[in-house]
Amino acid sequence: MFDMKQFRTARLLLPLTLLLAGCFWGDERETRHLVGNYYLNETGPDSGAWYLHFDDENFGLADALFNCQIVEAGFNKQCIIMRATCTNPQFYIARINRANDREIARNAIQGPYTSQELQAKLQRLSGDDVLSFDATLTNPSRW
């Protein structure tokens, strides 16, 4: 038997279901795991610009650790280096956070540095273990 209440509910749920499905349709942004709980999340499909995220148990990959777009990155067991474009190219170092806490990870980001300052800081942090940018991390066609 036809029930008017079910008809109204179905009439409301169908467009809502289509709308929610449309949110993910064609979403081809990449998410790349770096090390530990750190991820790069592409700002747009094949953009070559990324945000640094931290995956914690309370919020997942909710918000970027800082608002500058990353165009180059590299990492080792101790830190992540990033070249970001804010108002001008700047360099940052994110010391790897072993705790599962986004705010600790956010506070462990150092910078902005110039290229020379970055190299000096890396020499103090890493010693002879040279850390450099890895083009495969931020180039969409190389992943």
* Residue 10, in any domain of the structure: no
Predicted model pTM: 0.74
Tell me if 135 is assigned to some domain: yes
Residue 128 lies in a domain: yes
For residue 23, being part of any structural domain is answered with no
The angle formed by the CA atoms of residues 36, 117 and 133, to the nearest 5 degrees, is 45
| Mean pLDDT of all residues in 77-91 | 88
* Confidence (pLDDT) at 33: 92
**82 in a domain, yes or no?**
yes
- The answer to whether position 88 is within a domain reads yes
Q: In angstroms, how far is CA 117 from the centroid of its own chain?
A: 24
Domains held by the chain: number: 1
Residue 23 predicted with pLDDT over 60:
no
Confidence grade of residue 12 (pLDDT, cut at 50, 70, 90): very low
User: Which ranges of 25-97 would DSSP assign to H, the alpha helix?
Assistant: none
Q: Which domain holds residue 85?
A: 31-142
Residue owning tokens 């800082």 = 66
Per the DSSP assignment, residues forming a β-bridge with 31 are: 41
Q: What's the whole-number average pLDDT of the chain? A: 79
> Is 81 within a domain?
yes
Question: For residue 66, is it within any domain?
Answer: yes
